[in-house]
């Protein structure tokens, strides 16, 4: 087989080299296309464009595969913890016991947030969305924690500082928004247990940690830890390509994740299920979603990448059932979700268009069962995606083929025209 493709343009033939990935996928290298032909490609949404080589996450949407550093996400969800998975993504391999202990110590040492940051939180209007606050506060971290001289130490400290403090900041924003006393992290608790305790502990009602709830949060965060070059990850890489500090790049990722078509989808699912529970006529709402002349859409179905069942959705669905049974919760939204899923999986329209339930469909139910407020759902997604963003930023910083991201465009505006003085317009 040729290791290039032929492009014929204006009677000339150009050879564009092929690039093979470790899982057999093949790409056309067009890095010299404009230089040699004067042409550029047009690919709205970048659905057919690879922006980089990456050794972090492998996704096969046709076969429903998701692996972090080669390890199937199903194995990590069953046997690993979020802290261990974060180490894997950032460092490229599972930690030894010594490395994991050191990582835990660093996370604990950097878990506190500068007391002066409370003033910033209290200055936001009470109606502010937690994602907007989180994006602003992550960017502000650079002012509170100056750059270190040693580059390797700087990266290691900044990484653990972000992983630990973002969790603390998220819980703090929730407590302050409710006018409650801020709960500080505890050195005797694991990463996820610490977050739950900071969210729900109270001087008048101490929070009792449930191992199944802690496990559910671990699974949720693991499933969201990375997902190749999605919208927010691309934002982190694009902003990071300007060689900004890690805090600024992560802040951009948080802002991108906020959108309802990306990280905000799990919140949108709960709002949709609530509406369906109130109205009760699921068949009519499904019919609306299938009507191309109706703007109504079902949230939590289909995926830009997956053309079969989202592997994360299977895990999250099982976790939802386990958690609700353990906590003896009867959630009417889960009944609606089950009925809606049953309708969609039998409907020819959904099957033909590959509109299977995705991870957002059940993750909202799990977070709701844990007690997370709906407006904090996307914040939890951001905490989960943080190690992936860090790994992607770090990989791009070390990439010898690094370039400042600067996409081209096909201009479609007016041709050259003269300026008209205001009195003649």
Statement: residue 241 has pLDDT above 70: yes
Which pLDDT belongs to residue 302? 81
Domain covering 4-60, topology: Rubrerythrin, domain 2 (2.20.28)
Confidence bin at 150 (pLDDT 50/70/90): low
Q: What residues does CATH 1.10.580.10 cover in the chain?
A: 75-400
Please identify which of the residues 201, 226, 303, 310 carries the catalytic annotation: 303
In the residue annotation, 224 being an active-site residue is answered as no
Statement: residue 148 has pLDDT above 60: no
Q: What residues does CATH 2.20.28.60 cover in the chain?
A: 4-60
Confidence bin at 151 (pLDDT 50/70/90): low
Confidence bin at 414 (pLDDT 50/70/90): very high
Burial class (CB in 10 A: 0-12, 13-18, 19+), 62: exposed
Q: Where are the beta strands (DSSP E) in 76-213?
A: none
Rounded average pLDDT over 219-229:
97
Query: Over the stretch 343-367, which tens digit does the pLDDT of each residue have?
Result: 888 888 888 888 888 888 889 889 9
Burial class (CB in 10 A: 0-12, 13-18, 19+), 43: exposed
Please identify which of the residues 224, 360, 399, 418 carries the catalytic annotation: 360
- Rounded to whole angstroms, the Cα distance separating 370 from 295 reads 32
Question: Which run of H or of E encompasses 290?
Answer: helix 282-290
CATH number of 75-400: 1.10.580.10
In the residue annotation, 360 being an active-site residue is answered as yes
Query: Over the stretch 74-119, which tens digit does the pLDDT of each residue have?
Result: 999 999 999 999 999 999 999 999 999 999 999 999 898 888 888 8
Residue 28, helix vs strand vs coil: strand
Question: Which run of H or of E encompasses 318?
Answer: helix 311-326
pTM of the predicted model, to two decimals?
A: 0.91
């Amino acid at each position: 087989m040729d290791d290039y493709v032929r492009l014929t343009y204006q009677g000339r033939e150009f050879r564009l080299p092929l690039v093979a990935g470790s899982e057999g996928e093949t790409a056309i290298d067009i890095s010299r296309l404009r230089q040699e032909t004067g042409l550029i490609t047009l690919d709205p949404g970048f659905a057919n464009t690879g922006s980089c080589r990456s050794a972090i996450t492998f996704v096969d949407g046709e076969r429903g595969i998701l692996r972090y550093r080669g390890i199937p996400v199903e194995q990590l969800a069953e046997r690993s913890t979020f802290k261990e998975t974060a180490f894997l993504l950032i460092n490229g391999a599972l930690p030894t016991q010594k490395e994991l202990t050191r990582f835990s110590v660093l996370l604990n040492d950097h878990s506190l947030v500068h007391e002066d940051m409370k003033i910033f939180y209290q200055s936001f209007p009470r109606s502010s969305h937690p994602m907007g606050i989180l994006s602003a506060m992550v960017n502000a971290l650079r002012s509170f924690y100056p750059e270190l001289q040693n580059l390797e130490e700087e990266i290691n400290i900044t990484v653990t500082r972000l992983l630990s403090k973002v969790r603390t900041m998220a819980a703090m924003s929730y407590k302050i928004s409710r006018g409650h006393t801020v709960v500080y992290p505890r050195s005797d608790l694991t990463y996820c247990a610490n977050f739950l305790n900071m969210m729900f502990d109270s001087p008048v009602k101490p929070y009792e940690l449930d191992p199944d709830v802690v496990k559910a949060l671990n699974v949720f965060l693991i499933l969201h830890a990375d997902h190749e070059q999605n919208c927010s990850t691309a934002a982190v890489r694009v902003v990071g390509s300007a060689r900004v500090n890690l805090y600024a790049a992560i802040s951009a990722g948080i802002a991108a994740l906020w959108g309802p078509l990306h990280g905000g989808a799990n919140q949108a699912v709960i709002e949709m299920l609530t509406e369906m529970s109130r109205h009760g006529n699921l068949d009519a709402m499904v019919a609306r979603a299938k009507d191309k002349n109706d703007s109504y859409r079902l949230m939590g179905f289909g995926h830009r990448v997956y053309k079969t069942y989202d592997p994360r959705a299977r895990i999250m669905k099982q976790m939802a059932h386990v958690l609700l049974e353990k906590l003896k919760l009867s959630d009417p939204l889960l009944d609606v979700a089950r009925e809606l899923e049953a309708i969609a999986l039998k409907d020819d329209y959904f099957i033909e268009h590959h509109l299977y339930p995705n991870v957002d469909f059940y993750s909202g139910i799990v977070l709701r069962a844990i007690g997370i407020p709906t407006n904090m759902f996307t914040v939890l997604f951001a905490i989960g995606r943080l190690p992936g963003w860090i790994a992607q930023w770090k990989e791009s910083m070390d990439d010898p083929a690094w370039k400042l991201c600067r996409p081209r465009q096909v201009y479609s505006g007016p041709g050259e025209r003269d300026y008209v003085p205001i009195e003649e317009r």
